[in-house]
Amino acid sequence: MQTVYEAAGGDAGLLRLAHAWHERVMADDVVSHAFSHGFRPDHSERLAAYWVEALGGPATYSERYGDETSVVRMHSGNGPHEEMDRRAIACFDQAMTDVGLVEGDRLRSVLHDYFAWATTTTMSRYHRSADDVPDGLRLPQWSWEGLQA
């Protein structure tokens, strides 16, 4: 059986999705606030590498950029942001349309579930302080059945 990573078009497909999502969030007046302090020029490439690894592809993110602890710390200490999370998920859904993933498709549903889960759990769990994030977190793995233990 094909992995979610393979079904999403591998590295190239997830990079297209990361670019589309980034364009959508930068155009959103609420979600773009998360980038108001600036962002790396290779943000979409790093995001795509993270998704690649989480969805069953090679461990490019961990090998090049860091571990899950560093990612979660980067997203922590900003207080609760439910509206921003909701809108980031909506931007992701729109980005999937932008790259040609159609409503009702199993892949689209799995990708939505992954992104919504990651946005509302791991990326928002430590809203008080990045110092609360423990060392040694492993990058979560997601498959057709959801989160893998």
Cβ pair 121, 87 in contact under 8 A: no
CATH of the domain at 119: 1.10.490.10
**Residue 30 above 90 pLDDT?**
no
**What total of structural domains would you count in the chain?**
1
Q: Outline where DSSP puts E strands in 1-149.
A: 141-143, 146-148
Q: What is the pLDDT of residue 42?
A: 84
Q: What is the mean pLDDT of the chain?
A: 88
In a domain, 40, yes or no: no
Q: What angle do CA 34, 39, 40 make, to 5 degrees?
A: 150
Note whether 75 and 124 are within 8 A (CB): yes
pLDDT at site 84: 82
pLDDT of 86-125, one tens digit each?
999 999 999 999 999 988 899 999 999 999 999 888 877 7
* Percentage with pLDDT > 90 across the chain: 58
The residue among 23 and 75 whose pLDDT is bigger is: 23
Contact between 16 and 99 (Cβ < 8 Å): yes
Q: Looking at the domain assignment, is residue 82 inside a domain? A: yes
User: For position 38, what pLDDT does the model report?
Assistant: 62
Domain holding 69, by residue range, is: 4-35+46-148
